Amino acid sequence: MSLEAITWALNRAPIPRDRRDASSLAVVLLGLANHADPFGRNAFPAVSTLVRYTRLSERSVQYALRSLEELELIGPSDPEIVAAYVKRSDRRPRGWDLAVHRSEGAVDNSADGVQSLRPANGHGVQTPRYGVQTATSRGASTAPDPSLNRPKNRPSPSAPGGRSAVPAECGGCDARPGDPISARVVWLDEDRTRSTPCPRCAPARSGGAR
């Protein structure tokens, strides 16, 4: 099996797209590439093997091989090489060399409504360009730009100088850092069953005592 030949058959083989048998030619060519060397040469699978690969009839496979040869995408390989592998001449399949030097360029599906993607970011995730779809299929909605989604709930403004609007703990009550004023209390018993608002942190609630 040749990865180079398979890549060529899948992406760059110049099979005319307007042919009715284009899909049959492509799948038969892929079957040949599966048996070629890295240079696309000496592929000699049996016709029955190509029938099994492609799910086509034997006649369709023969037609496809003939058409691929007419398009000069394949040509006969050296029969001596095939003979070196298959000794019996009555069971010797025909060998093919693939024209991997011919190419139609990389396939570009952007005009067919396929969404274009940016290159992967540092986390290996591909993201749509500018946060929107390049093409909208029937019934599909356009993705919103994430930069336009602003949070409705904003944090409390800070006092001048960057200090928090909530005063700091006085240190004489049971308040913990970040506790609101309503939670700052002084316990009246050891069991902590009765409490009163801290007169230093909440003077308004305790009648102004300090």
Of residues 38, 77, 71, 34, the one with CA closest to residue 54: 34
For the chain, which residues make up each domain, given as ranges? 3-98, 166-210
Q: What is the assigned CATH class of domain 3-98?
A: mainly alpha
Residue type, 38: P
CA 8 vs. chain centroid, Å, equals 22
Residues above pLDDT 70, as percent of the chain: 62
**pLDDT, averaged across the chain:** 76
pLDDT < 70: residue spans in the chain: 105-167, 175, 178, 190-192, 203-210
CA distances (Å), 13 to each of 1, 107, 109, in order?
Answer: 17, 10, 16
pTM confidence score: 0.50
Q: What is the pLDDT of residue 108?
A: 46
Rounded-to-integer distance, Cα 195 and Cα 175, Å: 12
Residues 146-174: pLDDT tens digits?
555 555 555 555 545 545 556 677 777 77
Question: Which tokens sit at 139?
Answer: 């019934």
Per DSSP, 9 falls in state: I
